[in-house]
A and B are shown apart, each in its own frame.
Chain A
Amino acid sequence: MTTKHHDASVYEQVQSSEQFQELKRRFRAWTFPMTAAFLAWYLLYVILSAWARDFMGITLFGNINVALIFGVLQFVSTFLIAWAYARHAGKKLDPLADQLRHEVEEKQQ
């Protein structure tokens, strides 16, 4: 495995570079708040299922109630967040990560 022989200082140099800090910021600024958001949204759903049954039982149309719509919205939000992350990663993270990787691999040769 090549990594064992690398000089660790290369990684420390990269870590403190502005470009890497920008990559890290773009990654964390998107994924951390989004994780908090979807966990809160999911917990809201579970809490309402436990404590707000009357609200969840309100019929919207036909036999479709709030509980069913709320549950389906969890699927919709999961699909949308996954799609949005793929878009964010493709546009904002991959180009910067690829560039940094090439630079480090050149330095290591």
Chain B
Amino acid sequence: MNDSSHVLSTILFLVFVVATLGITFWASRQTKDATDFYAGGRSFSGAQNGLAIGGDYMSAASFLGIAGIIALSGYDGFLYSIGFLVAWLVALLLVAELMRNSGKFTMADVLAFRMSPRPVRTAAGVSTITVSIFYLLAQMVGAGALVGLLLGVTSDAGKALTIVGVGALMIVYVVVGGMKGTTWVQIVKAVLLMGGATLITLLVLGKFGFNLSALLGEAAQKSGKGEAFLNAGGRYATDAQGLAGKIDLISLGLALVLGTAGLPHILIRFYTVPTAKDARKSVLWGIGIIGTFYLLTLVLGFGAAALVGSGAIAAQDKGGNTAAPQLALAVGQQLFGDVGGTVLLAIIAAVAFATILAVVAGLTLASSSSFAHDLYAHVFKRGTATDREEVLVARIAAFVIGAVSIGLGILAQGQNVAFLVALAFAVAASGNLPAILYSLFWRRFNTAGAVSAIYGGLVSALVLVIFSPVVSGSETALFPDADFAWFPLSNPGILSIPLGFFAGWLGTVLSKEHNAAKFAEIEVRSLTGVGAEKASQH
């Protein structure tokens, strides 16, 4: 990284900040009621929401992280991205349209539909806030480290200041712009990210005469690992890890593929469009954008290995997170000289900031919406809160959650918290997904079942991770000096997902409660769209 590119990326980033703040204040004038704040007035088109889904979902971990894993460990980064993509079919086939038809603002709207609302909303609110804060914390800590690398900020105070800056912007987007502002930030980010990734990919492929095989050959040779670099086993389930490593990989795969459709910040995106058909269109657009993006990261990762070299990447950042920016610099220099390299690096660094901001804003919105709509309005006020009150509480909650995550992000600086993303997916797959699927498809399901599915999945995923090698008992653990690990896998999904489904079943059959009339209503509504919430009329 060099100084002129730091200056240029800072300028580009400031342009992004000014533009998105402009959009946010415009959006705040369009935000009049709760439907506007929580669901953007349900006025986005399928294509717009599809882009926003991409912007919400493609985090810095998937842009910089996956390219980095491929650049350092080869093929295994691809395993990650395939799980992230295939997961969208669960959302498309089973969740998106039915949720849009039967819910209003949060995941809990669907779960509480035919249940006793207070216990179910409490459980769903706790789970939503837990999942979102884990994910948020991972992004915040990542942001500090990343911006440090990209802008040359090396002091702890500088990194802390970066986290405060990122956090403050995210709070403004959510508190001022609500879902409308956040959605537009995500749309702008998705366009920038796709544009930046496509540009670098074309330049890299161009250097190899658009011959992917030649690019792979060069990457394998430069990596020093030969053909093994192009096959699985470079990072996950290595031969040294034996059977536990292989089972861990299956466990990770399960959490990725089943977690997406239970992530609260993804679920609330389905409410931002006027009808279920638009929700379907959004997911189709999302799948197109996300799939294309992960194919681009394949070229970026192997391109970085071929043109920058694994050694130079690992020297900059052990995790490989700077592989994509380093590739931009290298390919720019080789094709257009120093100025070209500086410009491309600055563009990719600015895109990376935009990526972080859009994702953290989505997470803050999801958790504050759930706090205000589920916990405050329905549990605490028992449904008597007015729209104005709810939105005010949501704004305060966004501010508090933002401030807490800034504080935790600074405290956790330098800690290895990457496991929090996988944990968020595991909790979503183990607690939220069983509750959602049972609610939509199982006639007999009831309050006890919903509450046990959510807490059962949440607690089993958390407990298994606490006693896993990611928290203690290994060199890379959160607490490397302690050892209280007895669960051998880093990913709890293979056990916690069946436990969540089992707890939901057990809770259901142990309770006699059952509301047939309300099940008829949710079944008819979810499949036909009768009585679905309409778009705002302004």
Report if A and B associate in a common complex: yes
Which residues of A line the B interface, CB within 8 A? 2-3, 6, 8-9, 11-12, 14-15, 20, 23-24, 27, 31, 34-35, 38-39, 42-43, 45-47, 49-51, 53, 56-57, 59, 61-65, 67-68, 71-72, 74-75, 78-79, 81-83, 85-86, 89, 94, 97-98, 100-101, 104-105
- State how many residues of chain B have any CB contact under 8 Å with chain A: 57
Q: Is B89 a contact partner of A101 (Cβ separation < 8 A)?
A: no
A94: which B residues are within 8 A, CB to CB? 277
Q: Is B291 a contact partner of A50 (Cβ separation < 8 A)?
A: no
For the complex, is B149 an interface residue (Cβ under 8 Å from A)?
A: no
Q: From residue A44, how far is it (CB to closest CB) to chain B in Å?
A: 11
Q: Is A35 a contact partner of B89 (Cβ separation < 8 A)?
A: yes
For the complex, is B386 an interface residue (Cβ under 8 Å from A)?
A: no
Q: Is B253 a contact partner of A42 (Cβ separation < 8 A)?
A: yes
Q: Which residue of B lies closest to A12 (CB)?
A: B520
Q: Is B93 a contact partner of A50 (Cβ separation < 8 A)?
A: no
Q: Are A67 and B75 CB-contacts (below 8 A) given A27-B527, A78-B89?
A: yes
Q: Is B212 a contact partner of A78 (Cβ separation < 8 A)?
A: no
Partner of B75, one of A9, A68, A86: A68
| CA A42 to CA B524, docked complex, whole Å | 32
Q: Is A78 a contact partner of B529 (Cβ separation < 8 A)?
A: no
Q: Are A50 and B530 CB-contacts (below 8 A) given A9-B517, A78-B89, A79-B291?
A: no
Q: Are A42 and B531 CB-contacts (below 8 A) given A75-B294, A75-B295?
A: no
A14: which B residues are within 8 A, CB to CB? 520, 524, 528, 530
Which residues of B line the A interface, CB within 8 A? 75, 78-79, 82-83, 85-86, 88-90, 92-94, 97, 212-214, 216-217, 220, 227-228, 230-233, 236-237, 245-246, 249-250, 253-254, 257, 277, 280, 283-284, 287-288, 291, 294-295, 516-518, 520-521, 523-525, 527-531
| CA A98 to CA B528, docked complex, whole Å | 7
Task: Indicate the member of A2, A34, A49 with the most B CB atoms within 10 Å.
Answer: A49
B88: which A residues are within 8 A, CB to CB? 78, 82
B288: which A residues are within 8 A, CB to CB? 79
Q: Are A97 and B233 CB-contacts (below 8 A) given A35-B89, A63-B213, A75-B295?
A: no
6 A–B pairs (Cβ distance < 8 Å), ordered by A: A3-B531, A8-B520, A35-B90, A71-B78, A94-B277, A97-B528
Q: Are A8 and B232 CB-contacts (below 8 A) given A42-B86, A43-B250, A79-B287?
A: no
Q: Is A2 a contact partner of B531 (Cβ separation < 8 A)?
A: yes
| CA A20 to CA B528, docked complex, whole Å | 9
Q: Is A23 a contact partner of B528 (Cβ separation < 8 A)?
A: yes
Q: Is A85 a contact partner of B92 (Cβ separation < 8 A)?
A: yes
Q: Is A46 a contact partner of B250 (Cβ separation < 8 A)?
A: yes
| CA A6 to CA B220, docked complex, whole Å | 65
Partner of B89, one of A27, A72, A82, A98: A82
Q: Is B524 a contact partner of A67 (Cβ separation < 8 A)?
A: no
Q: From residue B114, how far is it (CB to closest CB) to chain A in Å?
A: 10
A65: which B residues are within 8 A, CB to CB? 227, 230-231
Q: From residue A91, how far is it (CB to closest CB) to chain B in Å?
A: 13
Q: From residue B377, how far is it (CB to closest CB) to chain A in Å?
A: 13
A47: which B residues are within 8 A, CB to CB? 250
